[in-house]
Amino acid sequence: MQRQPFTALAAVYDAIMADVEYDHWADFVLTFARDGGLDGSGGALDLACGTGGFTRELRAAGLDVTGLDFSEEMLREARSRLPGVPFVQGDLRSFTLPERFSLVTCVFDSLNNLLTPEDLGAALGRARAHLRPGGLFAFDVNTRLGVRELWEGDAIEGLAPMTDGGEVHYHWSHHHDAEADLGVVQAFCRVGELEFVETHRERGYDPADLEPLLAAAGFARWEIVEYPDYAPPEPDAPRVWVFAWAGSDQ
């Protein structure tokens, strides 16, 4: 019944996440990128792409996009969903691709799954290494507050229809491990007679945590904002977005 994160979940992920506003997030990112002078050439790399929800929106906007994820199960769904898009398996902290990109993205608090500043710093460094001169890395993270207070009532539950006519019953509970300073989600799902649980852990990162890591990774400049208005984050912001620019030389 207990499964590794993002394994069994892959088959039901899109049903449960059907309301996620990937299209609005893509507009948010691409508007910022275009205002900063990126014209869509040079390709995009979508890190922690999962089943390809955000990758699909980048492709629909006309970008030549590659997806990367650690989970082969999630990538299997992405390849089925987006035939013709290159998807590769890799670790955010250590991946190496032959290409360099004008835009690198990592959305839906995926970087919060890196549980130490050292691991997050390594991932930022790999993203920076895969940017073309003047390229942009766009990502979001849950703050420390956001991880402590992830959902109202610390649980979400529901029934979601699947494309095969079935449905998935899910009950996800959250608690904050104060000693480790981690958010812990027990994700229970049932499809027919099949039941499984995955345990997901996240560490929150505030702007003050992110800025020295961005500098150490070699980014030339960055902006940390809130969605959807690009305003500076309030002290109680549960999530922030980061737009980090590579310098003119690699």
> Is 139's pLDDT higher than 70?
yes
Q: Supply the CATH classification number for the domain 147-202.
A: 2.20.25
Could you tell me the residue ranges of all domains in the chain?
Answer: 2-144+205-245, 147-202
Query: Right CATH number for 2-144+205-245 from 3.40.190.10, 3.40.50.150, 3.30.200.20, 3.20.20.80?
Result: 3.40.50.150
The answer to whether 214 and 18 have CB atoms below 8 angstroms apart is no
Give the other-Cβ count within 10 Å of 149's Cβ. 17
The answer to whether 240 and 223 have CB atoms below 8 angstroms apart is no
pLDDT score recorded for residue 187? 98
Element (H, E) at 13: helix 10-16
> Is 75's pLDDT higher than 50?
yes
If you ran DSSP here, which 8-state letter would residue 165 be given? S
The answer to whether 183 and 204 have CB atoms below 8 angstroms apart is yes
Sign (positive/negative) of CA torsion 171, 19, 59, 227? Answer: negative
Mean of pLDDT values over 202-207: 98
pLDDT score recorded for residue 208? 98
Mean pLDDT of the chain: 97
> Is 180's pLDDT higher than 90?
yes
Mean of pLDDT values over 119-138: 98
> Is 221's pLDDT higher than 50?
yes
Q: CATH topology of 2-144+205-245 equal to that of 147-202?
A: no
pLDDT band of 250, cuts 50, 70, 90: very low
Indicate the burial class of 145 (C-beta count within 10 angstroms; 0-12, 13-18, 19 or more).
middle
Indicate the burial class of 247 (C-beta count within 10 angstroms; 0-12, 13-18, 19 or more).
middle
